[in-house]
Amino acid sequence: MAWINLNDYYNHASVFALRETKSTPDLLRLMDYSIGTDGKETYRWVYRPVTPQEIKDGRSDPNDPITLYHPGILKRMERKGDDFLFVRWRPNPGNPKKAELLDTLDPAPLFYEVIDCPWSSRPRDLAERLDKGWEYDKGNPTQHVLIAFNSDGKTCDCALLDRDYLDYGGGRICLKS
């Protein structure tokens, strides 16, 4: 059995599962996480728009992969129903587009998905709209969903819901009955 040195996997990243038409999703790097010498934790946005060809071919810099992959993580992700993960990885100089991903999930930072509900101007309107549901074809929502309504252009009222209170799938999202 090979031993894994966790210190070799010094990169941390928040990734998003891009589920297009193929069965295996691409894990797109969104933000890199680091701890400075002063102990301060920081996130740096690393995602930039890419074409399907770039996703396929990857980048030549092993320290800047577009996607990450490990079959064990994809299986756990399917069981949990999450589209966002926090992972550890290391560059692969021999094959820059195939960064090596550690088969463990670190505690993830809290993600909040923001869903706009422009048809609601009062909490009662939002409750009615949540009861009826609306189009949602974005995959699985994050564990916490912030639903924005009643915007005046400067501020916006929001309702924070746990994903467990929502039904989603088939292109729609609504409150569980």
Among the residue ranges 5-9, 70-74, 98-102, 115-119, the one predicted with the least confidence is 5-9
Position 51 pLDDT exceeds 70: yes
* Digit-coded pLDDT (tens) for 129-167: 899 988 887 777 888 888 888 877 788 888 889 989 999
Contact 11/88 with Cβ under 8 angstroms? yes
When mean pLDDT is compared over 65-79, 91-105, 162-176, the highest value belongs to 162-176
Instruction: Please state the domain extents for the chain.
Output: 9-105, 112-175
Position 66 pLDDT exceeds 70: yes
Q: Looking at residue 81, what is its pLDDT?
A: 67
Position 5 pLDDT exceeds 80: no
Q: Looking at residue 22, what is its pLDDT?
A: 56
- Give the number of C-alpha atoms closer than 13 A to the C-alpha of residue 138, restricted to the C-beta side: 15
**What does the H/E/C string look like for the chain?**
CCCCCHHHCCEEEEEEEECCCCCCCEEEEEEEEEECCCCCEEEEECCCCCCHHHHHHCCCCCCCCCEEECHHHHHHHHHHCCCEEEEEEECCCCCCCCCEEEEEECCCCCCEEEEECCCCCCHHHHHHHHHHCEECCCCCCCCEEEEEEEECCCCEEEEEEEHHHEEEECCEEEECC
Position 91 pLDDT exceeds 80: yes
Position 2 pLDDT exceeds 50: no
